[in-house]
Amino acid sequence: MNLLPLLAAILGAVLMAAFGILAGLWYSGLDRVLAARMQARIGPPVRQPFLDIRKLMAKENIVPANAIPWLFNGAPLVALAGAVTLLLYIPMSSFGCLPVLGAYGDLVLIMYLLAIPALAMVAGGLASGSPYATIGAQREMVAMIAYELPLAATIIAFAWKLSRAGLANPFSLATLAATPVWTLVGPLGVIGVLLLLATMILVVPGELGRIPFDAPEAETEIAGGLIVEYSGRNLALLTLSLAVKTIVVMALIVALFFPWNLSPLLGIAAPPLALLTDTLFFILKTLVVLFFSVTLIRISVARFRINQIVNVYWKALGALSILGLILIMADSFIR
């Protein structure tokens, strides 16, 4: 029995987990620094998330008396494991290098896996026995139902266009990387793709629980909501899962809308140098997406109430994503 593929997969999973955690915490620090500068504040240093994790890891886990201990303690582990698993399906740099599990999953699987960290937090909040956490869990479930519509419409639009073009495996990120959707659409389709891009930019804060879609936590209303009873290592694990999920969501948007590499444009053929160039270019693209989808939005808009979140996702963004889908379909029939 050849163990090399298994060992390579394990090593790849470990490396991707380390990359996701370190990059996610770094992105979180950059987000806080950028937000502070845009608000004329000094703000924390970029390394602050690393310092917070180190402090939390050294503190004691406190389990509430009314909690279900095994579910309360297990939820953060499931949340982090779910976020890390997502990393194994999404390309992180050069598309010449397939993800660790890229051959075994597609956009449909990724869409379902995106829900695991949030569901784990919901389970942990309900298991804590806190009324604040219960309210937060209820809000999180409502928000999840709300932003699934524009996310699903975007994925369906991309898959439909790839299928219409006669490409095999239309839900595969590898197919999308080889044939970016921009190359398959005309003027009307470009407008549709831009509408879907705007939709996904606004889905990101909901996926990550950031302002203005952070009603499930809402420190000033429900004292932290889902995570109000978490402390020590459990809170550190939840923070790490959110950091990793940040990288996942940024990488997903890049893979869908900006799947180009820089090395072919610069004529770099040497594999190590090309991989380094494409990786740095990938980091730059994800930072740009982070700025527009997280930093800029959260300093520009106040927190929405939960009913406003539903209205935004179901009515405004739902209609926008469906319009984008219709424009892409109409463009195919016109051309």
* Spans of all domains in the chain: 4-334
Rounded to whole angstroms, the Cα distance separating 71 from 128 reads 9
- How far apart, in Å, are the Cα atoms of 83 and each of 7, 125, 207, 316? 21, 18, 12, 28
Confidence tier at 96 by pLDDT (50, 70, 90):
very low
| pLDDT above 90 (res 99) | no
Query: Token digits for 168?
Result: 């095999």
- pLDDT above 80: residue 268: no
Q: Specify the pLDDT at position 129.
A: 80
Q: Average of pLDDT values for 39-62?
A: 88
Overall residue count recorded for the chain in this entry = 335
From 97-101, 136-140, 224-228, the region with the lowest mean pLDDT:
97-101
- Cis check for the bond before 212: say yes or no (omega within 30 of 0): yes
pLDDT at 206 over 60: yes
Q: What is the pLDDT of residue 223?
A: 67
The sign one gets for the Cα dihedral 81, 84, 86, 88 is negative
Distances (CA, A) of 97 to 88, 107, 270: 12, 18, 14
What contacts 137, CB < 8 A, 6 or more positions away?
121, 122, 125, 126, 216, 225, 226
**Which one has a higher pLDDT value, 45 or 223?**
45
| DSSP letter, residue 227 | G
List Cα–Cα distances, 201 to 64, 294, 297, in angstroms: 37, 8, 10
Mean of the pLDDT values across residues 88-94? 74
CA neighbor of 208 nearest in space, from 282, 118, 126, 134: 118
Residues of the chain by 3-state class (helix, strand, coil), percent to 5: 75, 0, 25
Alpha carbons within 13 A on the beta-carbon side of 41: 10
Whole-angstrom CA distances from 129 to 55, 132, 219, 317 are 25, 9, 18, 34
For residues 257 and 16, what is the distance between their CA atoms, to the nearest angstrom? Answer: 22
2: confidence class by pLDDT, cuts 50, 70, 90: low
The yes-or-no verdict on residue 1 having pLDDT over 60 is: no
| N- to C-terminal Cα separation, the chain | 52
CB atoms under 10 Å from CB of 292, counted, come to: 14
Instruction: Pick the range with the lowest mean pLDDT from 89-93, 137-141, 211-215, 232-236.
Output: 89-93
Phi, psi of 106 (to 5 degrees): -145, -165
Whether 217 and 223 have beta carbons less than 8 Å apart is answered as no
Q: pLDDT grade, residue 26 (50/70/90)?
A: very high
